[in-house]
Structure 1
Amino acid sequence: MNTLTHTNFNFPGQKNVYHGKVREVYTLANDQLVMVATDRLSAFDVVMPKGIPYKGQILNQIATKMMRDTQDIVPNWLTATPDPNVAVGELCEPFKVEMVIRGYLAGHAAREYKAGKRMLCGVSLPEGMKENDAFPAPIITPATKAEQGDHDEDISKEEILKGGIVSAEDYAVLEKYTYALFERGTEIAKQRGLILVDTKYEFGKTKEGKIVLIDEIHTPDSSRYFYAEGYEERQQRGEAQKQLSKEFVRQWLIANGFQGLEGQQVPEMSDAFIQTISERYIELYESITGETFVKADLSDIEKRIEQNVLAYLSK
């Protein structure tokens, strides 16, 4: 099956292009951004050799739907989605922190807790918690990009303000928006029989100085979901929770001797396994959105995208 693993467009008024791990961002002269979601799959900060059919479409469509479902409470950068793999929006100056919010002791927070830490990003964690227990109230544990590499690093609110990374006035807005988005995301997840465990939000400033939500939101790549049914029983029995995220890919890689460490080789992914990943992503889409996934035409993805974006830009 055809997948979109790289693009090399030259749109009218194009100033530059940024090739990220899974998305490619084209900046145009009129302060517009064209963000293309590719089918690349990243795990342990490493891009896998093969693309996953429909993955870019799935992530783009979840993110754009969630932006529209939250725009009444938090403004965002999005202006149009001219193609299943494309979002067009306003050029913003990103804040240098990611607002990570956690409703449950899972993932990175659980690993830190297990190591004996009771303070995470300046936030005190209660004693006596088990992995995947709910916090008394959601906590914000910000992260900042490391100077070297793509790894995120924990940082406290106090360090952010003291270092002048974000002003106190702006940080207050980021906090307010983060809690509001997580509350809405939790409500949407509950309607789908899911629990929004933790997620991250990124924000930027428009030319006019308005703070808006940017990047993706509530996707399985940026969020962790549990199935609500059976959650309490699994907690009581000390069993692992049934997750809705790309964790299954990470677990397969670990089982095949890869965790992104130096000297490790990415294991060969068979076409059958690639197909399984694609089917799981479609399941993720339908579970998170409550809608049936409609497959886009894969016969010539680049040509399709180019035609759709050019038609939009010419309006």
Structure 2
Amino acid sequence: MRILSEAHFEELPAYYRGKVRENYDLPDGRRIIISTDRLSAFDRILTCIPYKGQVLTQTARYWFEATKDICPNHVLDYPDPNVVIGKRLDILPVEIVVRGYLAGTTGTSILTLYKAGERTMYGMTLPDGMRDNQVLPEPIITPTSKEFDGGHDEPLTPGEIVSKGLLTKEQWETLSRYALALFARGQEMAAKRGLILVDTKYEFGTDEHGTIILADEIHTPDSSRYWIAESYPDSFEKGLRPASFDKDFVRAWVAERCNPYTDEIPEIPVELVEETSRVYIKAYEAITGATFVPDDSAATPRDRIRNNLAAYF
């Protein structure tokens, strides 16, 4: 298996290692972002999934190019299938999640809050009597605080975002307009591929001029929930979750065998890793309509990236 487990190159400046991405800040204001194949869950790295980094980078590339008329994004160049050169931004302290359905499993998801009896959340009110996975009257934004120090994200209302000084009123209005337009484009394009874009998260930052710019990734299998459209009507009537790109084989396998937050992670079977890789590739092909072509042009993915980034050393 060809795996990119790390991409630390001493020849590149200002190194920062994230859970999945390796980052380097160049003196001229550009940032090199390398997507590895690491799989993060339970606040730790579980394993590596072959071609995951290439899938995520190329899926985001597809969407960045398809939405650049809606709002500016951070992309400057793609010197390698796992690498994007982007503008270095100051990330805004609010995470923007757009939802089109009453769905989700996290503590901040509208379905979790709804099942707990809450009807007023994120500055809006939902009616009684809604069912799991029901389409919302219109897509909504459910913003949360973005805790950079490892704390827990907390739900916010638009009024709180402005009153707490997290964003100005103008910034919030711009982010809202961008996010809803991006989501509408995503749903429209996904529908043509037989998919439902259920919800997604966006990350925005500002450049040296204060311009709001879309950063990180967009509409990838890691940042978004997709359902297979033809499965939705029957699944909804039966109260079941619609078919999706279920990449959580590894997460579920680990959780069944230990406390993943405190215990040593057991050795994960190769077959499970390979199946997860196939799901990522299937998701890329379903979302973009393109055939996934792995770049095996060098002895290892790391060697290929080193060659392609030589100009930046």
Quickly name the TM-score band, shorter chain normalised.
over 0.9
Cα drift, residue 251 of structure 1: 3.4
Partner Cα separation in structure 2 for residue 288 and residue 123 of structure 1 = 31
Aligned partner letter, 2:135: A
Listed one character per residue, the Cα deviations across residues 123-169 of structure 1 (whole Å, up to 9, x for unaligned) are 21221111111110111001222364264322221111111011111
Q: For 2:165, what is the secondary structure of its paired residue? A: coil
> Mind listing any 5+ residue stretches in structure 2 that lack a counterpart?
none
Q: Larger deviation: 123-132 or 60-69?
A: 123-132
Partner Cα separation in structure 1 for residue 310 and residue 19 of structure 2 = 24
Partner Cα separation in structure 2 for residue 280 and residue 158 of structure 1 = 40
Cα drift, residue 47 of structure 1: 1.7
Match of 1:138 in 2: 139
Match of 1:235 in 2: 236
Match of 1:4 in 2: 4
1:267/1:152 Cα in 2 relative to 1: closer, same or farther (>3 Å)? farther
Partner Cα separation in structure 2 for residue 129 and residue 39 of structure 1 = 39
Match of 1:161 in 2: 162
Partner Cα separation in structure 2 for residue 244 and residue 214 of structure 1 = 24
1:209/1:130 Cα in 2 relative to 1: closer, same or farther (>3 Å)? same
Work out whether residues 45 and 151 of structure 1, in 8 Å CA contact, stay in contact via their aligned partners in 2. no
Instruction: Tell me which stretches of 4 or more aligned residues in structure 1 moved more than 4 Å.
Output: none
Aligned partner letter, 2:99: R
Cα drift, residue 265 of structure 1: 4.0
Work out whether residues 82 and 308 of structure 1, in 8 Å CA contact, stay in contact via their aligned partners in 2. yes
Q: For 2:287, what is the secondary structure of its paired residue? A: helix
Work out whether residues 221 and 245 of structure 1, in 8 Å CA contact, stay in contact via their aligned partners in 2. no
1:243/1:249 Cα in 2 relative to 1: closer, same or farther (>3 Å)? farther
Q: For 1:303, what is the secondary structure of its paired residue? A: helix
Work out whether residues 59 and 219 of structure 1, in 8 Å CA contact, stay in contact via their aligned partners in 2. yes
Partner Cα separation in structure 1 for residue 185 and residue 136 of structure 2 = 17
Partner Cα separation in structure 1 for residue 140 and residue 204 of structure 2 = 18
Aligned partner letter, 1:122: G
Match of 2:183 in 1: 182
Aligned partner letter, 1:75: P
Listed one character per residue, the Cα deviations across residues 84-127 of structure 1 (whole Å, up to 9, x for unaligned) are 10000111111111111100011122122111111222221221
Aligned partner letter, 2:32: V
Q: For 1:220, what is the secondary structure of its paired residue? A: coil
Aligned partner letter, 1:296: D
Q: For 1:243, what is the secondary structure of its paired residue? A: coil
Partner Cα separation in structure 1 for residue 193 and residue 151 of structure 2 = 32
- Matched residue pairs, number? 308
Q: For 2:48, what is the secondary structure of its paired residue? A: coil
Which of 58, 67, 79 is the aligned partner of 2:76? 79
Match of 1:25 in 2: 23
Work out whether residues 97 and 142 of structure 2, in 8 Å CA contact, stay in contact via their aligned partners in 1. yes
Which of 8, 27, 36 is the aligned partner of 2:34? 36
Aligned partner letter, 2:196: I
1:150/1:206 Cα in 2 relative to 1: closer, same or farther (>3 Å)? same
Work out whether residues 226 and 242 of structure 1, in 8 Å CA contact, stay in contact via their aligned partners in 2. yes
RMSD value over aligned CA atoms? 1.8
Match of 2:280 in 1: 281
Cα drift, residue 245 of structure 1: 4.8
Q: Larger deviation: 117-126 or 70-79?
A: 117-126
Match of 1:206 in 2: 207
Cα drift, residue 307 of structure 1: 1.4
Match of 1:69 in 2: 66
Correspondence 1:301 to 2:298: no
Partner Cα separation in structure 1 for residue 31 and residue 204 of structure 2 = 15
Partner Cα separation in structure 2 for residue 212 and residue 146 of structure 1 = 20
Match of 1:129 in 2: 130
Q: For 2:230, what is the secondary structure of its paired residue? A: coil
Aligned partner letter, 2:3: T
Q: For 2:95, what is the secondary structure of its paired residue? A: strand
Cα drift, residue 257 of structure 1: 4.5
Partner Cα separation in structure 2 for residue 133 and residue 257 of structure 1 = 34
Work out whether residues 246 and 279 of structure 2, in 8 Å CA contact, stay in contact via their aligned partners in 1. no
Work out whether residues 250 and 272 of structure 2, in 8 Å CA contact, stay in contact via their aligned partners in 1. no
Q: What is the percent sequence identity of the aligned residues?
A: 44
Cα drift, residue 221 of structure 1: 0.6
Match of 1:46 in 2: 44
1:88/1:11 Cα in 2 relative to 1: closer, same or farther (>3 Å)? farther
1:33/1:150 Cα in 2 relative to 1: closer, same or farther (>3 Å)? farther
> What is the TM-score with the length of structure 2 in the denominator?
0.93
Partner Cα separation in structure 2 for residue 197 and residue 60 of structure 1 = 21
Aligned partner letter, 1:55: K
